[in-house]
Amino acid sequence: MSSKPQIKLDKVKKTYRIGKIDLEVLKGIDLEVEAGEFIVLLGPSGSGKSTLLNVMSCLDVPTEGHVYLDGQDVSLLNEDQLAGVRGRKIGFVFQQFNLLHHLSALENVTLPAVFQGRSESQRKKRAADLLESVGLGERMDHTPPELSGGEKQRVAIARSLINDPEIIVADEPTGEVDTDTGKKIMGILTDLHEEGRTIIIVTHDLELVDYAQRVIRIRDGVLSEK
């Protein structure tokens, strides 16, 4: 393993202003993630788990404290710089899939690569290969309304891999699919971990704990490892 953690949070706080009230969601988080770990962030609704994932993955910045990615303090970056880091290093899988309904599965998968300097032919070849790898080779011309929930999530996983990221973050990846499909989704994420990628999953589903190397629990914006 590297001498420094792949992700480090140092005294991270996140506060949202709601009307005249300040709502502190993260309350001084210290956390280190080594490259190649499979982590499940477990917590009930409202615990701060999605906010923590967003801060860890450069979708948001802390109100206080610092976030380091491969030793770089990303909490000091502006939005364009953060977008560049996300595009190069992190792949995202969301509970609601976040697919564009008017685009085909292939076109959805290619989108994150548009800003990474690859030609259209390179993007399409990579996307087709990824859709084949998740069992959707015959569905790549279909749009999201023509796909099942499990197929949409597999498209989302393929999209997360288009730029060959080191880290995959998944927010409730099995939340919109049935149990059997959820197991298939987790099987794909397990395979990606075995390839050497860091996997970070946020969930309230206790069954996903079995897949993790490390379980981190969050409640009321505070972490515990039990």
Cα–Cα dist 20/22, whole Å: 7
What ranges in 35-194 are assigned the alpha helix state H?
A: 49-56, 79-89, 105-110, 120-133, 149-160, 179-194
pLDDT per residue over 128-140, tens digit each? 999 999 999 999 9
Domains of the chain, start order = 37-58+78-224 (3.40.50.300)
Q: What is the arithmetic mean of pLDDT over 176-185?
A: 88
Q: Which residues contact 131 (CB under 8 A, 6 or more apart)?
A: 105, 106, 109, 137, 139, 140, 155, 158
DSSP 8-state secondary structure symbol assigned to residue 147: S
pTM of the model: 0.90
Task: For tokens 């502190």, name the residue.
Answer: 24
* The pLDDT of residue 110: 94
pLDDT tier, 45 (very low <50, low <70, confident <90, very high otherwise): confident
H/E stretch holding 217 reads strand 214-219
The pLDDT score that the predictor gives to residue 226 is 56
